[in-house]
Amino acid sequence: MPPVLKPELSKVDGLAFLGLSLARKSDRGHPESITHQIAFDFNDVIDRGYEYIQSTNDDGWLVGGGEPGPPKSFKLAAKDSAHVEIMRIGTYKPEWGGISENEIIDVLKSGKILIPQIEVLPTAVVAYGDTPPELEIRFDMPFAPDFVDMTAELPPNWQLRFLHNQLFKHFQNPSRFCPAAFHSTIVRKAEFRSENHKEAYMSMCDAVLKKWKLAGPRPLNANPVDNKSGIWLFADRTKPTHFFPPNFLPPYNTEEKRKIILSFLTEEWDEKTLDWKKAVYPEKTVERSTQETNPSGPFMEWCGNPIEALLGGARPQATS
C-alpha cells in the first residue's frame, strides 16, 4: 500500500492529485495531445526508434507527445500525460479517504495555499523501481537553501517542496501521500538491449540535462508570452481539469517573502514515520570548468554517437 496518511481509513487508492502538467504536443506523438509547456522537449530523452531499449510496457512513451498509435507506433495510443505529482489526493469521496473536488478548488482559489511562479529544472534521468525499471525525469533540489543570507540564490525546484509542505500541512485526508521524489515518468518496464546500450542512453540523457541546466529553471507556459506558470488539479494523469495560477509572485529576494519561503523548506515529510522531520539537503558542489575537466570542450562531451563512444569503454565517472 502507498504511504498514505491514515492507512486504516483509506478505503480506495484513487488517482486524483495536485501537480504540474508538462504535456507538450509533438508531430511525433498523439495528434490530440495538448501543450501546457514549451520549456522542455522530452523527445530529447526518449528512444522512439528503440535504438537503446528493446521493450516497454503496453503504454509506451508517456511524454514527448505520447504514443501516436498505428501506423506510427504499435503501443496503446495515448495523449501526452507528462506530469509531476505534488500531492496525491486519491478520490473525491471523503468517506473513501479523499477530499471533495469542491473543497480542493475552494482552498486553492482562496489564497490559503501560496502558489509561486513555477520555474523548474530537470536534474536527472534515472532507472527506478521494478525490474525492468521505470525511467523517470527527476526534479530534485540539488542543494540546500541558505537560511541565513536572505539574498542568496534559491535552489532550483524549491517551489515543489514549498507547495508540497503547504498542502501536506493543510490537507489531512487519510489517502494523502506523495509518490516518492518529484518526478515525471517517461516509460515503464524499460528493458535495455544491453548494459552498454543502457550506458549509452544515460549518456545521451546527461548531455540533454547539461543543455537544460545552462538555460536554468524555466516557467511552464504554453507560449512565449504567457506568465502564469501554476499548478493543476488532475482527476488522473490523463485528465488535468482545473488550473490555479500563481498568487505568490516574484521577486523572492525580499526579506518578507524569503522568510515565508524558508519557513516551509525547513522540514520534509517522512514516509516511514508519517511525520515531519528536519529537511536534509545535498551539499552544494562547486563545478570545475569545462576546460579543466574535459580539454576537448563541451562539443566532444555532448555530441557524437553514444553507442560508438561506449563500445570502447565505460561511461566516464563524474569527478568530485
Beta carbons of 179 and 164 less than 8 angstroms apart: no
Share of the chain above pLDDT 70, in %: 89
What distance in Å separates the CA atoms of residue 119 and residue 117, rounded to the nearest whole number? 6
pLDDT in tens, 143-182: 999 999 989 999 999 999 999 999 999 999 999 999 989 9
pLDDT in tens, 72-114: 999 999 999 999 999 999 999 999 999 999 999 999 999 999 9
What distance in Å separates the CA atoms of residue 59 and residue 56, rounded to the nearest whole number? 8
* Residues written for the chain: 320
Tell me which of 315 and 51 has the higher pLDDT. Answer: 51
Beta carbons of 189 and 55 less than 8 angstroms apart: yes
Q: Residues 123-151: what's their mean pLDDT? A: 95
pLDDT in tens, 249-277: 999 999 999 999 999 999 999 999 999 99
Whole-number pLDDT of residue 37: 97
φ, ψ at 46 (rounded to 5°): -115, 165
The strands making up 183-187's β-sheet, listed across from edge to edge, are 124-128, 134-138, 183-187
**Nearest C-alpha neighbor of 77 from the set 59, 53, 95:** 59
Q: Residues 272-296: what's their mean pLDDT? A: 74
pTM: 0.89
What distance in Å separates the CA atoms of residue 59 and residue 80, rounded to the nearest whole number? 11
Q: Residues 298-318: what's their mean pLDDT? A: 44
Whole-number pLDDT of residue 319: 41
Whether residue 235 has pLDDT greater than 90: yes
Going by pLDDT thresholds of 50, 70 and 90, the confidence category of residue 25 is very high
Q: Are strands 83-90 and 119-120 parallel, antiparallel or unpaired?
A: unpaired
* Residue 9 CA to its chain's centroid (Å): 29
Going by pLDDT thresholds of 50, 70 and 90, the confidence category of residue 303 is very low
Whole-number pLDDT of residue 320: 36
| Sequence-distant (≥ 6) Cβ neighbours of residue 3 within 8 angstroms | 177, 271, 272, 274
Going by pLDDT thresholds of 50, 70 and 90, the confidence category of residue 135 is very high
Compute the mean pLDDT over every residue in the chain, rounded to the nearest whole number: 91
Going by pLDDT thresholds of 50, 70 and 90, the confidence category of residue 1 is confident
Whole-number pLDDT of residue 63: 98
Whole-number pLDDT of residue 287: 59
What distance in Å separates the CA atoms of residue 81 and residue 62, rounded to the nearest whole number? 6
What distance in Å separates the CA atoms of residue 89 and residue 162, rounded to the nearest whole number? 17
φ, ψ at 256 (rounded to 5°): -65, -50
Going by pLDDT thresholds of 50, 70 and 90, the confidence category of residue 307 is very low
Share of the chain above pLDDT 90, in %: 84
Whole-number pLDDT of residue 284: 81
Whether residue 40 has pLDDT greater than 50: yes
Whole-number pLDDT of residue 220: 97
DSSP the chain: ----S-GGG------EEEEEE-----TTS-TT---S--S--GGGG--TT-SSEEE--TT---STTEE--TTT--S--EE---EEEEEEEE-S-GGGT---HHHHHHHHHHTSS--B--EE---EEEEESSSSPEEEEE----S---SS-TTSPPPTTHHHHHHHHHHHHH---TT-B--SSSEEEEESS-EES-HHHHHHHHHHHHHHHHHHHHH-SEE--SSTT-----EEEESSTT-EEEEE--SBPSP--SHHHHHHHHHTTSEEEETTTTEEEE---PPPP-PPPHHHH-TT-HHHHH-S-HHHHHHTSPPPPPP-
* Widest distance between CA atoms in the chain: 63
Whole-number pLDDT of residue 316: 42
Going by pLDDT thresholds of 50, 70 and 90, the confidence category of residue 56 is very high
Whole-number pLDDT of residue 224: 87
Amino acid making up residue 166: Q
Whole-number pLDDT of residue 288: 55
φ, ψ at 151 (rounded to 5°): -100, 0
